[in-house]
Amino acid sequence: MKAHDVKRLVARYVQKFETRDPFELAEHLNVEVQTGPMGIRSGCYMFLKNHKCVFLNEDLDEHERILVMAHELAHSIMHRKENCYFIRNKTLLLTSKMEIEANTFAAELLIPDDLIYENPGLSKAQIARIAGYDEKIMEFKQIHSQL
């Protein structure tokens, strides 16, 4: 899926459910979310017995938890029958098509275009910090000039 298609997909879900919160979206989309100890992994998505499940590491701070949830939610939507793992400090660096799509989905969901338009002149890193995320997320954000 191309980045602009991911952007449209996110916009459709945000408009339909009137939220950018990945946990609320998961609830609307019948994605079960469990939190617990996971060792090195930050999170994972699994398709188990025809159920979409996201598992999150209980040790994540608030912004990491939201980012990992958005990433895993993307897998539940775009890669429904695949099992996918998010490893903190690694997945934003991976280059597989599925991981790039999930990272793009997370960036589009968590960094609204309005945040960029309302802060002209700020760098991508500054925008990411305002939103509470690592600047690497901005590598996946599609920024179009405002009409």
pLDDT in tens, 45-61: 988 888 999 999 999 99
Mean residue pLDDT of the chain comes to: 88
What is the rounded distance in angstroms from the CA atom of residue 56 to the CA atom of residue 10?
21
pLDDT of the residue at 88: 47
3-state secondary structure of 139: helix
One-letter amino acid at 13 equals Y
Strand pairing class (51-57; 31-36): parallel
91-120 confidence digits (pLDDT tens): 455 568 888 999 999 999 999 999 999 999
Report pTM: 0.88
Q: Are 13 and 25 in contact (CB under 8 A)?
A: yes
